[in-house]
Structure 1
């Protein structure tokens, strides 16, 4: 990539971003169809399949960086991706909600609060793991990365139990929220696919092709983007946390817009929180591939991004409790707060990375 001129690198970067966007929409649709056809539904298999599908760009970037032993951009992309994917909810609130009410008002439920709490808990373990010595590794495993994966699995089990019903009024869903159950948009997509004559085999083939496109585009968008923006003086951490994180968040944006368009507001927030909970698990993936203790090598900027992601998640958790009804510039007050905090946070990151 270093031998290419800047204009060609820009074309490659934008082309890969477009490929990720288009493939992300296809992945979202086929994932929902396969989940319904294979009776995965809201079970663990369906949750894991969706988490992997929407985070394929991050998986590709993490794998490439780990094998090349260049982990700075991968770590920044994972932790910056959590913060930026939370900001995707701002876009969904402003552009995807009908009727005109804040997203957290329509989606409020105790299950979503538990999902947000899982994200925050995993981020706290990330911070703790950065303080362990890098020598604490055996058979390509570190205690921190392994604990994150275990907690993620336990969290999914608790969320599955919560999804079957909570001992609260209306099963933990707030009154005057969305009138149809969470996940109804998946059934709608499957029915539309059936009407078009799309069989399970064809859906699986399309899923595989879209996944391959996303993986390849993820590798090239990281390589071209790092070289391009590095020429403009942008550090690897800042690039990974902003430009690269925004490009790789496109599948989550397309998935969320589809869910909100179909009135499945709880699923839109759940997909974002679920993807954010999955991203720290990639540290285990990076550790196994690289044979290095990744988290103990985290920089101050990485810990800073971890705290920023947790802070933005907590703001939306508060919004799910207080359920603001008024909108400003088509956004709830919680979305405005998240947008301001993210802007301030990224500004502060520029000083740390400098």
Structure 2
């Protein structure tokens, strides 16, 4: 795209972002149907189906960068994406939740706590692996990426186990009385929260339409939406890197900020669609599941490039890794304490995340790349 004008590059970039936005809506609807038909539950479907589909742009970017042996942008996009996607939860809290309750109160469940812990654990492994020498690689694999892959699989198994119920202090299930959001469930404390599961005025009609949708049709819509997300993600990455490179932005900073924001659009659209259906756990699990899946792409990048990717991480990448972990811990605390009060239509955890993210991004400018 080097021969195209900056104006045309901007049009392509914005058009790709628009396709990513629109595809997120149909992906959310299809996932809602598939999760019910396949009995996956909101948390597990968010951790698998939506997490993979909404991260298709990152998969495409990582693949192309690894094959070209230019992984700097991919590394920044993956780690910057975790931080910005966590901040998306604050947006969903502010504009997506209909009841006057914080998002973490409506969505709270042990499965989401496990997903938060999994994200933090994976980010810690990323930091550890980044300190190893690049020469530690056997059969196109490094110890760090292998551990990331195994840890992700183990995390999914724990989420599945938690969905069936965890032992409580009195011998009962810790998750008892907490049906999945959207199924008439409450706010995670066994008590129904006002308005939860009702969504907006159009939700009953939309739920009826989704109930009539066949499983094959939902699967087809899911595949088409995923393909559109994948293609648009590639266009956004290529056109954006060329455009913002002309404006003097380095590839590392571009991948961690602008590109991360664009590739987070599927999470925004699917999250908003899920919250408007009252599927609050699906909305939160989509974000957390996607954040847990992103470090797995380092395994893909290492296999494709034949290089130790994580030891090549810049100081800005490690900085963003720590920022993503910090924001995740804030929401982990929110899911434990389930705050009741809101300010500016947000829970205190979302406000804290917005402040920390803003300060963190400002601090990114001071970190040597």
TM-score (norm 2): 0.88
Residue 260 of structure 1 aligns with which residue? 275
Report the RMSD for the aligned CA atoms in angstroms.
2.5
Residue 107 of structure 2 aligns with which residue? 107
Residue 63 of structure 1 aligns with which residue? 63
Residue 192 of structure 1 aligns with which residue? 209
Does structure 1 retain, via aligned residues, the 8 Å contact 2:196–2:278?
no
The alpha-carbon distance between structure 1 residues 40 and 339, as it changes in their structure 2 partners (threshold 3 A), is closer
Q: How many residues align?
A: 349
Residue 78 of structure 1 aligns with which residue? 78
Which of 278, 294, 306 is equivalent to 1:279?
294
Which of 258, 266, 276 is equivalent to 1:251?
266
Residue 299 of structure 1 aligns with which residue? 314
Matched residue SS, 1:4: coil
How far apart are residue 181 of structure 1 and its match?
Answer: 10
Matched residue SS, 1:329: coil
Residue 14 of structure 2 aligns with which residue? 14
Instruction: Work out the CA distance in 1 between the residues paired with 2:106 and 2:31.
Output: 25
Instruction: Work out the CA distance in 1 between the residues paired with 2:54 and 2:140.
Output: 26
Moved more, 207-216 or 53-62: 207-216
Residue 171 of structure 1 aligns with which residue? 174
Which of 207, 212, 220 is equivalent to 2:235?
220
Does structure 2 retain, via aligned residues, the 8 Å contact 1:72–1:237?
yes
Residue 180 of structure 2 aligns with which residue? none
Post-superposition Cα deviations, 1:62-109, rounded to whole Å, max 9, x if no partner, equal 111111111111111100100000011010110011211211122222
Q: How does 1:111-260 map to 2 (within 5 A)?
A: 111-168=111-168, 171-172=174-175, 173-176=188-191, 178=193, 192-195=209-212, 198-260=213-275
The alpha-carbon distance between structure 1 residues 45 and 297, as it changes in their structure 2 partners (threshold 3 A), is same
Residue 202 of structure 2 aligns with which residue? none
How far apart are residue 251 of structure 1 and its match?
Answer: 1.2
Instruction: Work out the CA distance in 1 between the residues paired with 2:282 and 2:44.
Output: 15
Instruction: Work out the CA distance in 2 between the residues paired with 1:10 and 1:290.
Output: 30
Instruction: Work out the CA distance in 2 between the residues paired with 1:44 and 1:328.
Output: 30
Structure number with higher helix proportion: 1
Residue 179 of structure 2 aligns with which residue? none
